[in-house]
Structure 1
């Protein structure tokens, strides 16, 4: 038997759309609570205008973009933002995906928010503890001012109390039940304070434990 001709094979890589950036660019998985939010409570919401405040390398922002949302990713880490901008350019994603260097303490979201299209969702996961305490109120007020009526805030931040102080010396942490006080004019959909762990490890190589506040609120 002789072959009929030259044999050629073509191989393509397939994955779930929401895992595309994670697989192609080796991003860490998105925060599991962010996944639960957008695949649960907000699953019926499409084409949201989302701000990832303190986006880091972009694991949540790229995941949200892959779900067809419009995403603005802000962080003060220049190298992380430059890397994310390079990926956005490579993927020709700039029409609905922007990444910018931003000092959160400046409370100046007007620089990156369309005045005619405020955000449907602002998320900030394990970020606010890096702010100095005197700037925290202004930052949250600014976030609220740039959120649409009916829009949501989703915040995760460590809590420190006399019974269980945060083991990492951050510039600021919330006291127990403090975070909801910033949202008295909003509809508080969910608030919990639960034990969890940081990615950072202790001297024994174990993830550092802390108590974390998780807040989901809707603007009236």
Structure 2
């Protein structure tokens, strides 16, 4: 059982898709891309994952490091990293990228997804949740990047799609928009 560290430290709740994914994915080496202050990282760490947590915001990384130090957690490594670089240097059993892609440079998103896929171990998982902007539901928030209908599922052709939907959802700030949600498993080689 996990202690609610997010409430303790004033963080947003763990993303519901991360909670759901962890019902299927056992502890392994994981990467939390765009970890911010660590709302998902801390949850994964408590479940026994060895988590590399990356974000381009030094203040967020420092806050996460302070929480890790205070809690005595040794299985989380926060690092300052610009995800736009698409230059991961380690392979993971689980890569979590929830509500992150929409803040990236649109010209780099395909490279970032390819980098995630190539650094996922055979049999490993990618979880992506990203805002969409469609004719039916134009995105009300001016994100640098949004997905089109079917775009994310096309990126994962050849992988086992565990979950995929393009449903309306609410961001933690209350904004309602359409999200593409994908949990996919890389084929075992």
TM-score by length of 2: 0.93
The answer to whether structure 1 residue 217 and structure 2 residue 188 are counterparts is: no
Which of 80, 95, 99 in structure 2 is aligned with 1:126?
A: 99
Whole-angstrom CA distance in 2 between matches of 1:153 and 1:67: 17
Distance 1:185 1:85, change over 3 A: same
Counterpart contact for 1:20–1:66, Cα < 8 Å? no
- Aligned-pair RMSD on alpha carbons? 1.4
Residue of structure 2 equivalent to 1:82 = 62
In structure 2, stretches of 5+ residues that fail to align are none
Whole-angstrom CA distance in 2 between matches of 1:76 and 1:138: 17
Q: For residues 93-112 of structure 1, what are the structure 2 equivalents within 5 Å?
A: 93-94=73-74, 96-110=75-89
Whole-angstrom CA distance in 2 between matches of 1:88 and 1:41: 25
Q: For residues 35-74 of structure 1, what are the structure 2 equivalents within 5 Å?
A: 35-38=19-22, 40-42=23-25, 45=26, 47-74=27-54
Counterpart contact for 1:18–1:64, Cα < 8 Å? no
Whole-angstrom CA distance in 2 between matches of 1:131 and 1:25: 27
By how many angstroms is 1:18 displaced? 1.4
Whole-angstrom CA distance in 2 between matches of 1:27 and 1:66: 15
Distance 1:92 1:182, change over 3 A: same
The C-alpha deviation readout for 1:54-104, integer Å capped at 9, x for no partner, is: 01110110011011111111011110101111222333323x210011101
In structure 1, stretches of 5+ residues that fail to align are 1-16, 201-206
Could you say what secondary structure the match of 1:36 adopts?
helix
Whole-angstrom CA distance in 1 between matches of 2:172 and 2:72: 31
Bigger relative CO (Cα 8 Å, ≥ 6 apart): 2
TM-score by length of 1: 0.80
Counterpart contact for 2:133–2:148, Cα < 8 Å? yes
